[in-house]
Structure 1
Amino acid sequence: MSYAKKLGIEAAVGEYVASHQREVSGRIIHLHAWHVPDFHGTLQAHEHQALVWCSPEEALQYPLAPADIPLLEAFMALRAARPADLC
């Protein structure tokens, strides 16, 4: 995936987090999430209305796409299961 195209950054892709599939408009979409421990560049909202820098817990207060919520919850569970300096 090109993070440069979607967000204007070069990302260091780390550990696999989770996958989720969901039906959207009669089609099955497959989403996969990886931890990004570091990136270079300035975030830009090329394909999104806005970007907000927040904690995963705070992200649940925003109107997320329903298909994204299980991936966020999986990341939160992974963070809770390990020391903070590894997240």
Structure 2
Amino acid sequence: MAEVQVDALKTPALKDGEFADATSDVSKRDGPKKHTALQIAQSLEAKIHELGASLDKDEKALSTRLTAMSSQIDDLLKKIKT
């Protein structure tokens, strides 16, 4: 009887009515461990929070610059009118 292998299962071959290799192999041989859906979701959530914080920081800096530019324009307009 030929040995049949399925992922994570191993059926030992028989020799003269005895098992030739009675050890079981329950390890998967798919290579590197794959990430679970939960791990992927947590990673995405962390990246989204990181991007959100970066956007908030950039938005505040942009707002400050626009306010400064607006006040400079107002000052120039006042000088022109006088």
Short-chain TM bin? under 0.3
Higher helix proportion (structure 1 or 2): 2
- Greater Rg, structure 1 or structure 2? 2
Of the two structures, which has the highest relative contact order with CA contacts closer than 8 Å and spacing of 6 or more? 1
TM value normalised by structure 1: 0.22
* Structure holding more strand per residue: 1
